[in-house]
Amino acid sequence: MNSFKLNFLDINECTSGSHNCHDNATCSNSDGSFYCTCNSGYTGNGTFCEDIDECINGTDNNCSPNAICNNQVGTYECVCKDGYQANGSQCDDVDECTVTPPKCAGGGQRCTNFPGAYRCNCISPRQQLNADESACIDVAASIQGGIVIINREYKPGYDDTNSREYYEITEEIIIALEVNFRRTGLAAIFVRIIIIRIYPGSVGVDYVATFNNTNGVNNQNLQQEVVSQLNITNNGTFLSDSDLQLSEVLTFQDYDECNPAQIIHIPDCGNNATCANTNTSYDCVCNDGFINNGTGCININECDGNTDNCSGNATCQDTEGSFECTCNAGYTGNGVTCRNIIECTEETDTCHDNATCIDTDGSFNCSCNFGYTGNGFDCEDVDECALGTDNCHDNGTCDNTNGSFACTCNSGYSGDGITCEDIDECDLERDNCDGNATCHNTDGSFECNCRNGYSGNGVTCENIDECSTGSHNCHNNALCTNTVGSFECDCDSGFQGNGTDCEDIDECINGTDNNCSPNAICNNQIGTYECVCRDGYQGTGTQCDDINECTATPPKCAGAGQRCTNFPGAYRCNCISPRQQLNADESACINVVASVQGGIRIINRVFKPEYTDTNSAGYFEITQVIIIALEANYRNT
């Protein structure tokens, strides 16, 4: 036997569109079926759905109490009422008085904000708003009226004149009253209604009716005109077409614009006038001390107009609306009466302590006392010494004192300061000069001068060591020796003179003042001499020994064929061979071709014994002179 298993698939009626749910319902599929649910904002069984009006009872919406609920299909809308702003579920008051641009911005207007509303009023009681409330216009008459609304209950919110409740009840009353007045015979001159106040007792109302003309504006006529337009029925008396039911009593009286309690208006009299109420209006009366110039009350200057009562010895000072009298300096009183003040007697003067006060009419003069200078109020001591107006002696000292001066003779003078004579301290031995000083009297003093050879200030004198200070006049080649109060000069060795003038001694002149060797040359020097051995000698100068050039190293005349002959202090070279003779510089022997012997006699020379010693210095010197002279002569031939 074969077995079969049947599988059934669920049909989704919601997606296939085979359901019968309402257009404003949601289809939900179920196993083998479906179900319908009305959408939010609708009510019904799902196959039939109706819109829910959330605004009907106010419980199905979240609109603000200051919003209007507008029902829409399947939902609702909250719109803030006029005078409010926000999202509808929350609505905040718009302060029309401070918005940009603000309301009630016309000249003379004042704006009062209420929750969701505002109201414009004119500040001055002489003005009222025009029809479109864009400007304040002048009014000619104002009448205060009073009614009692008996079918309204006074609410606590009415006490707050800025509350919404106060705005709504007063707005209702204003509209009804203005309709009633515009139906009277005074409609052509009627302007507007202003609420002064409302008060308990059902609802009592005081108001002001304004008119642009005074014709017919009186309490009796207004009573007749207003009553004639009331809606009088079997159910009561109503204000115009409104449902505001009135008591039978209507009152009219003059509106006192000057009453400070009437806070809705501020009389425009300004600070210099007083508001005076009149029938249906008021006047501004200038205060005392002010006068009306046509545009307002201006101050009267009583001082300029000489309408003050100030004393002739007082000063008039204009003030706002009045004047003040002040006694001039030097007078006392209330300004209307002023008497002279005797400042000097009453000691109210301001003179300096070193001045004299002299009273005058209305004042006083101050004069500085002798010895002082200034304007009397400020006196300074006159410094006669600095100005040179004293009579002190030229040799006296002037000492300024307060208001005067004193003279004192200077040191070195005697007298009363006006006459001063010199004191001779030297004669009177009042000086303090040193024993080694001389005293010299001067005009008013004395001088001490140290004597020659001493130094100091004269009061103290000390010996001068001229030798160490260099203040002596000894010669440079002299020795200075200090003495008490002076000095001595002695020429140095090698010099001669008085010490201040020293000359060199020439020890070499006569040869007696030196110890030079006969074979030395004496050279004089400043203050001394020098011994120098002559050429061919050697030694200290005081002793000079011959140098044997023939045996010295190297020896002289060492050339070939030469022979050396030594002399004291000299030597001579000769050639050994008679056929040779020395060349010009005697460095060598050269051949000669001829030799001639000659002879001469020198008549101006004396033959000395030493010439016989052919090795003596004398022999060398005379022969050397002859050789040089002969050779010169031959070379000139």
pLDDT digits (tens, 9 = 90+) for 129-177: 988 889 999 898 889 899 999 999 999 999 999 999 999 999 999 999 9
Summarize the confidence of residues 555-559 as an average pLDDT.
89
CATH 2.10.25.10-classified regions of the chain:
13-51, 300-340, 346-381, 386-422
Kindly indicate whether the domain formed by 139-254 is annotated with CATH number 3.30.70.960. yes
The angle at the Cα of 353, spanning 351 to 354, to the nearest 5 degrees, equals 100
Given this model, what pLDDT does residue 559 score? 87
Q: Phi and psi of 552, rounded to 5°?
A: -70, 170
Given this model, what pLDDT does residue 361 score? 85
C-alpha–C-alpha distance, residues 163 and 65, integer Å: 15
Per residue in 247-293, pLDDT tens?
Answer: 988 888 888 878 877 767 777 787 888 888 888 788 888 888 888 88
Q: pLDDT band for position 181 (50/70/90)?
A: very high
C-alpha–C-alpha distance, residues 594 and 572, integer Å: 22
- pLDDT > 70 in the chain, percent: 98
Q: pLDDT band for position 532 (50/70/90)?
A: very high
Contact 57, 69 (CB under 8 A): no
Beta-carbon count within 10 A of 469 CB: 11
Statement: residue 315 has pLDDT above 90: yes
Domain at 346-381, CATH class? mainly beta
Statement: residue 542 has pLDDT above 60: yes
Q: pLDDT band for position 428 (50/70/90)?
A: confident
The angle at the Cα of 143, spanning 137 to 145, to the nearest 5 degrees, equals 125
C-alpha atoms less than 13 angstroms from C-alpha of 326 in its C-beta half-sphere:
8
Tell me the fold of 300-340: Laminin (2.10.25)
Neighbouring residues of 604: CB distance < 8 A, sequence distance ≥ 6 = none
Query: Residue 39 — left, alpha, or beta (φ > 0 → left; ψ -120 to 50 → alpha)?
Result: beta
Per residue in 361-389, pLDDT tens?
Answer: 888 899 999 889 999 899 998 998 999 98
Residue 111 CB-density burial (10 A; 0-12 exposed, 13-18 middle, 19+ buried): middle
Given this model, what pLDDT does residue 321 score? 85
Given this model, what pLDDT does residue 264 score? 73
Contact 194, 125 (CB under 8 A): no
C-alpha–C-alpha distance, residues 632 and 637, integer Å: 9
Task: List, in sequence order, every residue forming a beta bridge with 447; answer none if it has no partner.
Answer: 440
Summarize the confidence of residues 195-220 as an average pLDDT.
91
Work out the end-to-end distance of the chain between its first and last CA atoms, rounded to an integer number of angstroms: 198
Tell me the fold of 386-422: Laminin (2.10.25)
Summarize the confidence of residues 572-587 as an average pLDDT.
90
Given this model, what pLDDT does residue 7 score? 63
- Single-letter residue type at 488: E
Neighbouring residues of 97: CB distance < 8 A, sequence distance ≥ 6 = 103, 104, 111, 112, 113, 118
C-alpha–C-alpha distance, residues 58 and 76, integer Å: 11
Helix (H, G, I), strand (E, B) or coil at 17: coil
C-alpha–C-alpha distance, residues 259 and 393, integer Å: 94
C-alpha–C-alpha distance, residues 233 and 237, integer Å: 6
- pLDDT > 90 in the chain, percent: 45
Statement: residue 35 has pLDDT above 60: yes
Summarize the confidence of residues 599-622 as an average pLDDT.
90
Neighbouring residues of 107: CB distance < 8 A, sequence distance ≥ 6 = 135, 136
Query: Residue 86 — left, alpha, or beta (φ > 0 → left; ψ -120 to 50 → alpha)?
Result: left
Helix (H, G, I), strand (E, B) or coil at 300: coil
Domain at 13-51, CATH class? mainly beta
Given this model, what pLDDT does residue 234 score? 84
Given this model, what pLDDT does residue 28 score? 93
pTM above 0.75, yes or no: no
Per residue in 461-504, pLDDT tens?
Answer: 988 888 888 888 899 898 999 988 888 999 988 888 898 999 98
Strands (E), 320-425: 322-327, 331-333, 338-340, 355-360, 363-368, 372-374, 379-381, 396-401, 404-409, 413-415, 420-422
Neighbouring residues of 382: CB distance < 8 A, sequence distance ≥ 6 = 371, 372, 373, 389, 403
Q: pLDDT band for position 87 (50/70/90)?
A: very high
Q: Quote the distance between the C-alpha of residue 190 and its chain's center.
A: 71
Given this model, what pLDDT does residue 27 score? 92
- Single-letter residue type at 117: A
C-alpha–C-alpha distance, residues 500 and 481, integer Å: 12
C-alpha–C-alpha distance, residues 333 and 310, integer Å: 11
The residue written with tokens 């000057």 in the block is 258
Neighbouring residues of 136: CB distance < 8 A, sequence distance ≥ 6 = 106, 107, 108, 109, 122, 123, 124, 127, 128, 129, 130
